[in-house]
């Protein structure tokens, strides 16, 4: 998916936004082996790349949470959506038995994101040594995560040539990247192979972890899931009070729009939607005021 002119203009300068992530640390001599047994990503990959996404699954393969793992000199940073932070803490603590592991929450810390090559240039030369920074994985637009005391982050950004993005623009970037929001696009009813943004961080070759049996069965079936989270494009003149339900050619419900941005893409509005597999390859639409509105699915 190409970056639009409007995004190119935004990214022509260093830009940042506050995220909804919270900060945890996992330290101790057994931290890596512990994570290898608990999360879906192969921790050998984290060792090589330093920053990864991962899933935390229940025994039936459903997602409990997804979060960032960042390798550090002293252990691992876990950047977790605040909406599932307490669940992640409880789940990880339940698996800690006799290991040399300490899980610490940094309740007063915040995570900010910086976007684009202009931001990279500034970060390489002026980042405060008391703040942590890491480049996130697999994004069309380079995204950098910075965390520490919120007051210090705001002072540092305020002292530079940064522009703070509005919440709506930051939301547009999230949708463009296909990054799901917990409770809005993804819930505990979903599995990793249904979500392209998370699929590649689910190992099918490493040892056992909670939910691995379900993952292996789906892998053996060619990852043939019943539904998937797709990008969709809705005509720009259909924006107000757009119905979420998506229909096939026989007006049968086959999906639901979960996120819709104000970003113009292909003369339409970009969004995310769950779509049933029987409609993966077909044209879908929604109906507003008895008017049929075509919705393009980007696979």
pLDDT at 138: 74
**C-alpha to C-alpha distance for 36 and 216, rounded to whole angstroms:** 16
* Token duo for residue 119: 């931001």
Q: What's the predicted TM-score (pTM) here?
A: 0.93
Q: Which residue has the tokens 């995204």?
A: 143
- What is the structure's pLDDT at 131? 87
Neighbours of 205 (CB within 10 A): 7
Give the contacts of 171 (CB within 8 A, at least 6 positions apart). 259, 261
* pLDDT at residue 239, rounded to an integer: 55
125 token code pair: 């030369």
Spell out a b/e string for 102-136, using b for 16 or more CB atoms within 10 Å of the CB, else e.
Answer: ebebeeebbbbbbbbebbbebbeeeeeeeebbbbb
Q: Are 14 and 119 in contact (CB under 8 A)?
A: yes
State residue 238's pLDDT score. 55
Q: Which two tokens stand for residue 275?
A: 């779509």
DSSP state of 100: S
Distance CA 88, CA 65 (A): 7
Listed as ranges, residues in the chain with pLDDT below 70 are 1, 128, 237-242
Q: What is the pLDDT of residues 193-230, one digit of tens each?
A: 999 999 999 999 998 999 999 999 999 999 999 999 99
């Amino acid at each position: 998916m190409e970056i639009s002119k409007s995004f190119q203009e935004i990214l022509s300068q260093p830009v940042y936004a506050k995220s909804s992530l919270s900060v945890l640390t996992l330290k101790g001599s057994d931290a890596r082996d512990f994570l290898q047994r608990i999360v879906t990503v192969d921790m050998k990959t984290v060792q090589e790349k330093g920053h990864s996404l991962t899933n935390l699954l229940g025994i039936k393969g459903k997602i409990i949470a997804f979060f960032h793992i960042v390798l550090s000199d002293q252990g691992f940073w876990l950047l977790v959506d605040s909406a599932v932070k307490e669940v992640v803490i409880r789940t990880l603590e339940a698996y800690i038995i006799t290991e040399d592991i300490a899980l610490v929450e940094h309740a007063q810390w915040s995570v900010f994101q910086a976007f684009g090559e202009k931001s990279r240039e500034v970060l390489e030369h002026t980042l405060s040594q008391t703040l942590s920074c890491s480049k996130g994985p697999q994004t069309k637009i380079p995204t950098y995560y910075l965390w520490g005391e919120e007051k210090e982050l705001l002072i540092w950004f305020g002292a530079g040539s940064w522009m703070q993005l509005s919440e709506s623009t930051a939301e547009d970037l999230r949708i463009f990247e296909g990054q799901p929001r917990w409770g809005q696009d993804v819930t505990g009813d979903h599995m990793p192979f249904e979500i392209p943004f998370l699929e590649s961080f689910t190992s099918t070759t490493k040892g056992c972890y909670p939910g691995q049996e379900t993952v292996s069965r789906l892998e053996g079936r060619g990852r043939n899931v019943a539904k998937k989270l797709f990008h969709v494009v809705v005509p720009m003149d259909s924006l107000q009070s757009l119905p979420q339900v998506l229909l096939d050619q026989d007006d049968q419900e086959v999906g639901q729009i979960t996120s819709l941005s104000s970003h113009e893409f292909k003369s339409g509005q970009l969004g995310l939607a769950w779509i049933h597999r029987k409609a993966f390859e077909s044209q879908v639409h929604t109906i507003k005021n008895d008017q049929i509105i075509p919705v393009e699915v980007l696979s």
